[in-house]
Amino acid sequence: MELDFIDAPFDLKKYTPREIEEAFEDPFCIRFLPDTDRSDGASRYYALGRTVGDRYLFFAFSTDGKIAKVVAVREMTDTERKFYDRKYAEFG
């Protein structure tokens, strides 16, 4: 899936497109069911992923099935990281 960073509402220097792509393509990335109860009618997905540089990111995106528009990125909280690490360990 192609990622769209045009008019990204976050700092692309703090979270580079490459890092976000790495987290998105992380084989152990955890994607959550879409949030469809939104006033604008769009579905928003949430995910936890890790970059090659070992950065743990939470990100939110919307998609039409071909292009994903990333709308938010931040570092995982401690609780999210523990959840990610626990799920990662289940695969090992």
Q: What is the per-residue pLDDT across 27-36, written as a single tens digit (0 to 9) for each?
A: 999 999 877 6
Higher pLDDT, 42 or 73: 73
Q: Which of the four pLDDT bands, split at 50, 70 and 90, describes residue 43?
A: confident
Q: Give mean pLDDT, residues 25-47.
A: 82
CB neighbour list of residue 8: distance below 8 Å, 6 or more residues apart: 70
Coil, strand, or helix at residue 37?
coil
**Bridge partners for 74 per DSSP:** 58
5-18 residue pLDDT tens:
999 999 999 999 99
Q: Are 61 and 45 in contact (CB under 8 A)?
A: yes
Residue spans of the domains in the chain: they are: 2-91
Q: Is the pLDDT of residue 39 over 70?
A: no
